[in-house]
Amino acid sequence: MQTKQYRIGTRGGPLALKQAHEVRDRLAAAHGMVSSAFEIVVLSTKGDRITDRPLSEIGGKGLFTLELEEQLADGRLDLAVHSSKDMATTLPEGLHLSAFVEREDVRDAVIARDAPSLHDLPKGAVVGSASLRRQALIRRMRPDIKVITYRGLVETRLRKLREGQVDATLLAYAGLKRLNMEDVATDVLDPEVFPPAPGQGAICIESRIDDTDVARLVAPVDHRPTHAALLCERAFLAALDGSCRTPIAGLARVEGDDIAFSGLILTPDGREAHAISGSGKASDAAAIGREAGQTVRERAGPDFFADWT
């Protein structure tokens, strides 16, 4: 008989709550448990509270996980649910990403007011994005339009768009689909042309390394192809010291026992870019991603990274 109640930590935005409930429901189904065996604990993070500045100015990706990881480390939480693309490549001591739910759509969606796509926007149009990767890719594609930093929850960004603060914005299509809002997208971008962030579209579970009970709990919801892809993409990020201060794209695809990876690094203005690819066995995912990161770093040269501060 189930006696322990597992505490699942999450941020409080609508998308974060959707993801936490999805993980809870998957865990309950996998073990034949009732949903009341899990308590969803909502925490406010510094990244959620500070929305008027770029993440690069206030500390990067860890701002969305710090409070959750503190409670996870000291036992107040049993596991935490995150968007994988928000996770730093180095985690606090004693914690790890123990499972990755099957990945959703990896693509970026355009939401525009008066034009369906980035190509159709008029010269001088204003596009808002919080992501340095998206900003750099937009500038690379359309150097004639203005790109501004644009943060907030999905609903906040869409409201600002309706108010006319920007002509268009970009969001992860996976997030829109999880919120049943995919119909707001006016265009969905080809990942071969507009590659996604490492980890985009994947929900991850963070837990304590020594917690064998939680390891047993999450094992059935860990999607092995997604896990391998994320190992590859995160290794690529780590080799480049990837953070919210760096425009980096990367996507790994797993088919059977094989994995294929493609990555891209850009200068913030989008004028210079270096692409890299690699492939091999999925069991070597991390090594493939790491080698790709090291190779593209050497290829770009030290001057390329001079402004990545």
Looking at the annotation, which residues are catalytic? 86
Angstrom CA distances, 175 to 24, 75, 234, 243, stand at 18, 29, 20, 20
Q: Cβ neighbours of residue 93 under 8 Å, at least 6 residues apart?
A: none
> How far apart (Å, rounded) are the C-alpha atoms in residues 229 and 289?
9
Long-range CB contact pairs, 50-59, < 8 A, 24+? 51/151, 51/152, 51/156, 52/151, 53/149, 53/151, 54/130, 54/132, 54/149, 54/151, 54/244, 55/130, 55/151, 55/244, 56/132, 56/243, 56/244, 56/245
Tokens matching residue 230:
């994320």
12 Ramachandran zone, left/alpha/beta (phi>0; psi -120 to 50)? alpha
